[in-house]
Amino acid sequence: MSTVTDQLNLAPEHTHTNCCPAELMEFVIKRGEGQLAANGCVVVNTGERSGRSPKDKFLVEHPDSRENIDWGKVNQPITEAQFDTALEIATKYINAQDDVFVFEGFTGADINHRLGVKVVTTLAWHSLFAQTLFIKPGSKSDAGDGSWNHDWTVINAGCHKLTKEEQEALGHNGETYIAQSLERKTVIILGTEYAGEMKKGLFYAMNYDMPDAGVFPMHCSANIAKGNSNNVALFFGLSGTGKTTLSADENRALIGDDEHGWGPSGIFNFEGGCYAKVIGLTREKEPQIWDAIRFGSVLENTIVNPETRVPDYDDTSITQNTRVTYPVDFIPGAQIPSVGTHPSNVLFLTADAFGVLPPVSKLTPEQAMYYFINGYTSKIAGTEAGVTEPQPNFSPCFGGPFMPRRPAEYAQMLSDRIKEHNADVWLLNTGWSGGPAGEGGQRFSLSYTRAMVSAILDGVLENRETIEHPVFGLHMPTSVPGVPDEILNPRNIWTDKDAYDAQCAKLAKLFRENDAKYDLPDAIRSGGPKS
């Protein structure tokens, strides 16, 4: 069987390993891969793909892991032979380049539960992306002794689009192909320059490897109260629901913005950086993210004024999925190394495109399991190829595209930890109210959402009076400091109450159709809509 080491020709004369940010940024500018913005970051364009390509992602079906995988539209099987073909195509392309960039580091801030990764790229900015997102040996985020071990490899030949002959050899119709092997611990990327594929490939690896080590892998952000190490919060949610925004709080220390593990000692960040959406970004709304965009960060698909070189965060002419990546220690007061104790509050974030769900509600244990397994939100324009407007979306565990194992396995791990550590669970709708998206509905005010989060984390809502939603059974607080009482019950905001009731019934039906896919105990199923 061929291996990465056999095929990659990483000769010293054309291989640049763990370059410092200044060196990589110099390569980016010299090679014409991007431009320098006035705030000091490099601005790059990811080409035709400005989001993930889930339909082009495949996993090797292997006897050692076959029974552990939730096969289907997310986990699409390929053979060992197809993987070898993809590996041959990728390494042939990389070996023909004058310059190859290598990052060697880690995923996992807990030294007892981390994977050593090697990321091989042909673009300097891809290597800078990896350096900002993952943990570099000897950096502030490295809690170890600076040594490095090699577990996983990412081979990013994304600049090479598959030819018709190569597509035929792979049995695939399309220029993009992402292949992953759990046994060979390798991710291969072809035909897309979107850097998020590297990040999600390694998240996928952690999501498979960590449960066997007694760690619950989570698609969530996390922060901790300054001065109170026991006040840790988790924010679950898919892209665009507010994980990064809500966890970047100047009154709390950021642990991480996207991917974490919950192990025997508490939680820890899988990454060493943040990957934040910047659409509509302002210093007033998100000062920490604004100030983190500086020398050493990478800004994707954002238009820059040609004269002033100032980024225009309101310009979505390339994509709505404009993003920036930066090391987590660019956030003032961040928790470094990125570890914390067991969380006391778990928040599920959903961007409800129907405008039906309340902005905040406290969940019973049964509801917590139900909403985690269903993972309802809306796909936000630009986060995936072909998504141009918000669409209702059920994604198990609030991270279905990145979860190789069955949802019930992850859900049981969450349930066990919530019970053991007596954590409260909440559902926050950061989406629309007053109507559906695009039909008169407006997104909830960020200031109101922040006030709700603060009330939860400060313990204000723990024993606050609630009323029960008539259809979804959610327990809605009747008052939250700093938030108008009338918006806490979503029906109040709709001018046409009958239209709200109709939308409510429609969404409830979609929930029931989705939960029918799972073999749920009656107790968990009871946490869903009443009709």
| Digit-coded pLDDT (tens) for 37-52 | 999 999 999 999 999 9
For residue 426, tell me if it sits in a domain. yes
- For every residue of 300-316, DSSP letters joined together read ES-EE-TTT--EETT--
For residue 5, tell me if it sits in a domain. no
CATH number for position 524? 3.90.228.20
Mean of pLDDT over the chain: 93
For residue 2, tell me if it sits in a domain. no
Range of weakest confidence among 431-440, 482-491, 503-512: 431-440
* pLDDT tens-digit series, residues 373-396: 999 987 655 656 666 655 778 999
Q: Is the pTM of this model over 0.75?
A: yes
Dist. CA 55–CA 73, nearest whole Å: 8
- Decide if pLDDT at 3 tops 60: no
- Decide if pLDDT at 61 tops 50: yes
**Which of 519-526's residues contact partners 24+ apart within 8 Å by CB, and which partners?**
519/408, 520/370, 520/373, 523/366, 524/366, 524/369, 524/370, 524/373, 525/370, 526/366, 526/370
Name the β-bridge partners of 443. 432
Radius of gyration, alpha carbons of the chain: 22
Number of other residues whose CB lies within 10 A of the CB of residue 399: 25
Residue 6 confidence class, pLDDT cut points 50, 70, 90: low
**Two structure tokens written together for 68:** 């552990």
Supply the residues annotated as catalytic.
Answer: 52, 200, 219, 239, 243-244, 258, 323
For residue 295, tell me if it sits in a domain. yes
Mark 428-464 as b/e (b = at least 16 C-beta within 10 Å). Answer: bbbbbbbbbbeeebebbeeebbbbbbbbbbeebbeeb
Mark 108-119 as b/e (b = at least 16 C-beta within 10 Å). Answer: bbbeebbbbbbb
For residue 4, tell me if it sits in a domain. no
Asked if 478 and 467 touch (Cβ cutoff 8 Å), the reply is yes
Strands 273-277 and 323-327: antiparallel
What secondary structure letter does DSSP report for 295?
T
What is the rounded average pLDDT of the residues 328-347?
96
* Residue-level pLDDT at 201: 97
* Residue-level pLDDT at 387: 62
* pLDDT tens-digit series, residues 401-456: 899 999 989 999 999 999 999 999 999 999 999 998 888 899 999 999 999 999 99
Work out the end-to-end distance of the chain between its first and last CA atoms, rounded to an integer number of angstroms.
Answer: 55
- The closest alpha carbon to 421, from 311, 267, 198, 303, belongs to 267
* Residue-level pLDDT at 382: 60
For residue 98, tell me if it sits in a domain. yes
Residue 7 confidence class, pLDDT cut points 50, 70, 90: confident
Q: How many domains does the chain have?
A: 1
Its domain, for residue 484, covers: 11-531
- Decide if pLDDT at 325 tops 70: yes
- Decide if pLDDT at 1 tops 50: no
- The closest alpha carbon to 431, from 485, 495, 353, belongs to 353
Residue 370 confidence class, pLDDT cut points 50, 70, 90: very high
3-state secondary structure of 386: coil
For residue 3, tell me if it sits in a domain. no
**Two structure tokens written together for 202:** 């390694």
- Decide if pLDDT at 2 tops 70: no
